[in-house]
């Protein structure tokens, strides 16, 4: 096995692989295969897939909200154990940010639960690399938005990004 990883925008044919990658890496929230197909087709310009030895080992999805063309919202990141230790999560987001669809982006937003130490560390490190501030606060509340069955989601805002 090599350490070489190919990064590219996904195609609809990658949707099922994304679904299986997320399912194999709990505790990520799974989406339907249909949702993953949309991520890999409708949102392909703001998504990046990572392949190692022909297998998908990482994926980041996101979008530029229609009412906020300066924001890249990072929807979900998954890195399989076969892709860990390579700094792949940060590479995926940086590649996503470098996409032509993100040329107007000055801020990155995402939501993270308070106990997701890996994601907090990733986005703190990313903010530092981008020379940008990181701010956060509760965005979706456990009781108000999730019926008490999911932890709060904090909105992280990174920016402005020096481009």
In a domain, 116, yes or no: yes
In a domain, 128, yes or no: yes
**pLDDT mean over 58-74:** 97
- pLDDT > 90 in the chain, percent: 80
Domain of 58 in residue numbering reads as 6-159
Predicted confidence (pLDDT) at residue 125 exceeds the cutoff of 90: yes
**pLDDT mean over 130-157:** 91
In a domain, 26, yes or no: yes
Predicted confidence (pLDDT) at residue 3 exceeds the cutoff of 80: no
Local confidence band at 140 (pLDDT 50, 70, 90 cut-offs): confident
In a domain, 92, yes or no: yes
Q: Contact at 8 Å (CB) between 77 and 87?
A: no
In a domain, 41, yes or no: yes
Query: HEC states along the chain?
Result: CCCCCEEECCCHHHHHHHHHHHHCCCCCCCCCHHHHHHHHHCCHHHCEEEEECCEEEEEEEEECCCCCCCEEEEEEEEECHHHCCCCHHHHHHHHHHCCHHHCCCCEEEEEECCCCHHHHHHHHHHHHHCCCEEEEEEEECHHHHHCCCCCCEEEEEEECCCC
As for how many domains the chain has, the answer is: 1
Report pLDDT for 29: 82
Q: Contact at 8 Å (CB) between 83 and 52?
A: yes
Report pLDDT for 150: 87
CATH of the domain at 26: 3.40.630.30
In a domain, 58, yes or no: yes
Report pLDDT for 1: 45
In a domain, 1, yes or no: no
In a domain, 135, yes or no: yes
Report pLDDT for 2: 55
pTM, rounded to two decimals: 0.92
pLDDT digits (tens, 9 = 90+) for 5-50: 999 999 999 999 999 999 999 888 888 999 999 999 999 999 999 9
């Amino acid at each position: 096995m090599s350490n070489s990883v190919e990064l590219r925008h996904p195609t609809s044919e990658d949707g099922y692989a994304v679904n299986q990658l997320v399912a194999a890496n709990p505790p990520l929230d799974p989406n339907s295969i249909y949702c993953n197909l949309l991520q890999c087709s409708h949102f392909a310009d703001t998504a990046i897939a990572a392949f190692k030895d022909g297998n998908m080992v990482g994926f980041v999805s996101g979008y530029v909200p229609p009412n906020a063309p300066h924001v890249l919202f990072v929807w979900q990141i998954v890195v399989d154990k076969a892709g860990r230790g390579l700094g792949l999560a940060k590479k995926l987001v940086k590649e996503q940010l470098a996409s032509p669809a993100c040329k107007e982006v000055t801020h990155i937003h995402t939501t993270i639960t308070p106990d997701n130490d890996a994601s907090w560390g990733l986005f703190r490190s990313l903010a530092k690399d981008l020379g940008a501030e990181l701010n956060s606060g509760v965005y979706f509340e456990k009781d108000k938005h999730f019926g008490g069955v999911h932890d709060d989601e904090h909105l992280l805002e990174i920016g402005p990004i020096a481009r």
